[in-house]
Amino acid sequence: MKIGNPTIGKRGELVLANPYPSLPVAILNDEDKEKVREMYLTDHP
C-alpha cells in the first residue's frame, strides 16, 4: 500500500480513507470477489 500526504489545490488520486455506505460488498455471479477487487479496490481497473 502506498502511503502519502493529503494535498489541497493539487491534482492527484482520489483516496477514500474510510468505508462509505454505498460501496458494494458483492457483485452478482462474482463468487471469488475478483470483480469487486478489480472495480473498486485497485488503483486502475
- Could you tell me the pTM of the whole model? 0.45
pLDDT band at 2 (very low <50, low <70, confident <90, very high): low
- Of 28, 27, 29, 10, the closest CA to residue 40 belongs to 27
State residue 22 phi and psi, 5-degree precision.
Answer: -90, 5
pLDDT higher at 31 or 13: 31
For residue 43 the three cell numbers come to 488503483
C-alpha–C-alpha distance, residues 26 and 4, integer Å: 28
Q: In this predicted structure, what is the pLDDT of residue 32?
A: 92
pLDDT band at 43 (very low <50, low <70, confident <90, very high): confident
The pLDDT tens digits of the residues spanning 3-30 come to: 777 788 888 777 777 777 787 778 899 9
